[in-house]
Amino acid sequence: MATEAQLKGFIERQRILLKVERDAELARTALVLSSCGPKLLELKGLALLGLGVASMGIGLGGKKFVIFLYSI
C-alpha cells in the first residue's frame, strides 16, 4: 500500500502533467485557428458556419438555454 507521501507525490506529478498537456492543446488550437480559414475549419469539423440564434430562455433549475438555427 502507498504511503501518504507517495500518494501526494503521485497527485502532484499528475497535476503537472495535466497542465503541460493542457498548455500544449491550447497552443495547438491557437495555431490551427490562426492559420486556417473558416471554410477549412468547417470542413475539418471544428466550426459551424451559418449558425444563428433562434431563441433563448431559462429552463429547468434556472439554467439558460439557447436554440440555434443552422442555415446552409
What would the mean pLDDT of 46-55 be, rounded to a whole number? 92
* Cβ atoms of 29 and 44 closer than 8 Å: no
Question: Residue 28: what pLDDT?
Answer: 94
Q: Which of residues 46 and 18 earns the better pLDDT score?
A: 18
Range 25-39 burial, b when 16+ CB lie within 10 A, else e: eeeeeeeeeeeeeee
Question: Residue 10: what pLDDT?
Answer: 97
Question: Residue 72: what pLDDT?
Answer: 72
What are the CA-CA distances from residue 32 to residues 40, 46, 69 (Å)?
10, 10, 26
Domain limits, the chain: 1-35
pLDDT band (50, 70, 90) for residue 71: confident
Q: Which of residues 13 and 46 earns the better pLDDT score?
A: 13
pTM: 0.59
Question: How many whole angstroms from its chain centre is CA 3?
Answer: 35
